[in-house]
Structure 1
Amino acid sequence: MLDEDGYFGEKIAAAYDDDEAEMFRPEAVTPAVDLLAGLAADGSALELGIGTGRIALPLAARGVPVHGIDMSRAMVARLRAKPGGDTVGVTIGDFATTKVDGRFTVAYLVFNTINNLTTQDAQVDCFLNAAAHLAPGGCFVVEVGVPELRRLPPGQSAVPFRITPTAWAFDTYDPATQAMSSNYVTIVDGRAEHSWLPFRYVWPAELDLMARIAGLRLRDRWEDWNGAPFTGESTRHVSVWEKPLS
């Protein structure tokens, strides 16, 4: 959602944790932190798109040094205000290209954040940037949905995903460009307010090719953080690519 403060500006940051409350529940957070902590081992972690610290803060609480990159000062301000927020280093910038000091044993992008990069070139740059920050043997982890194009009948471009008496939310898809957007319509004081967020959807095989361009190789792919098998019916995946030792 874009607002007057820009991409993930103050208006969005102020409501983000409440709007995405389900993603902050222990059953959503703990399996991700378990996996990332295991991959980090005795090293450190780099989060691309660290946001308000949903994953970074509990990961840091496990004793894993975490550094994050994020373009939104408003989102990072929320992270800083939380307990433990002063222990996580953050660099403000575009996570597809911004460089930070050090080498990491794991870098990660969660909750569809790779789709926030709205061109294929930017997504490729992100893989290259992640690989450049990894130590040999380190891993890059991405959690992202599988495009739901099978739900689109001929001539339709929108898929609803939330409907209440006062709010509607739907995704739109353009199969020709892989552009998509999430749209939110909310009734406030009897008036409809619309906000939206642009994305670029990406297929698992396309991500594998981006990883190959960056010198990474697929190590694991599951349906979720708990390790359920990824199948043709899966609606999302957690993929792990590894940087060769030499």
Structure 2
Amino acid sequence: MLEDHFAGEVAAHYDATSPPAPAAMVDRLAELAGAGRALELAVGTGRVALPLADRGVDVAGIELSPDMVAVLRAKDPEGRVAVTLGDMATTRAEGAFSLVYLVYNTIGNLRTQDQQVACVANAAAHLGPGGRFVVEVGVPSLRRLLPGEDAHLFSYAPGYVGFDRYTDLVAQQATSHHFVVREGEAREVRTPFRYVWPSELDLMARLAGMELEHRWAGWDRAPFTGESTSHVSVWRTVGG
């Protein structure tokens, strides 16, 4: 069983410290879902699933953390988003979907290549003919490290500092450090992750019977280039 890094206080304050889903993200996901059902892997507190449901999309989710699900259910008393508790690499939700999506770098929460391969295969197993799998994830920041350094500052704002520390370049291991000032007290949350390259994800998708349809630098469909710091990739089931 995967470790739950979003229990307790992290879940309780998650929405307060996380921005709402960008409108462009919800727009693209609604377009890709079409008239079919959508499944969010690691649905969390529903900050993407609920706005998508507001667009009329039938959304379900898989989530490892019961505390995150409790926050979602408090915001969704009608139960519009059906949630299955479990890890996104092996857990199955009922039915078939036209869209499975995994956003906000969450693929990295799976800390081994085998787990990530299993997750992509699990996504494909939920898709009907012509279904699509979408991943939003950052491009590893190794090019931005100076010689001898192992950390990259990715965000700085009043009351918050975030940086990634690359701890094992062979196993592709890193840890995100989030320093948050709350009620006059500074607290640190650490989230270990495995970074993954776009070409590596393409091979995982191919092994699962999918092919790359789109790769954008962001939800606005800007072209992905060698200078892009993140990507939104869309794979489609082969033969659909």
TM-score between the two structures when normalised by the length of structure 1: 0.90
> 2-side partners of 1:59 and 1:167: how far apart?
28
Shift of 1:207: 0.3
Partner of residue 95, structure 1: 88
Q: Please give the residue correspondences for 1:85-124 in structure 2 after superposition, counting only pairs within 5 Å.
A: 86-124=79-117
Stretches of structure 1 lacking an aligned partner (at least 5 in a row): none
1:199 aligns with 2:193: yes
1:74 aligns with 2:67: yes
> 2-side partners of 1:158 and 1:85: how far apart?
43
1:213 and 1:18, CA in 2 relative to 1: closer, same or farther beyond 3 A?
Answer: same
Q: Please give the residue correspondences for 1:152-171 in structure 2 after superposition, counting only pairs within 5 Å.
A: 152-163=145-156, 167-171=160-164
Question: Aligned partner of 2:58: which letter?
Answer: P
Match of 2:119 among 120, 123, 126: 126
User: Would you say how many aligned residue pairs link Structure 1 and Structure 2?
Assistant: 237
Deviation by residue 1:70-119 (Cα, 9 ceiling, x = unmatched): 00111111111114661110000001110122110000001101111111
Partner of residue 207, structure 2: 213
Stretches of structure 2 lacking an aligned partner (at least 5 in a row): none
Match of 1:176 among 170, 173, 186: 170
Provide the alpha-carbon RMSD of the alignment.
Answer: 2.0
Shift of 1:193: 4.0
Partner of residue 8, structure 2: 10
Shift of 1:133: 0.5
Question: Aligned partner of 2:71: which letter?
Answer: R
Match of 1:226 among 220, 231, 234: 220
Which runs of structure 1 show a deviation greater than 3 angstroms over 4 or more consecutive aligned residues? 162-168, 185-194
TM-score between the two structures when normalised by the length of structure 2: 0.92
Residue 150 of structure 1 aligns to a residue whose secondary structure is helix
1:167 and 1:140, CA in 2 relative to 1: closer, same or farther beyond 3 A?
Answer: closer
1:109 and 1:164, CA in 2 relative to 1: closer, same or farther beyond 3 A?
Answer: closer
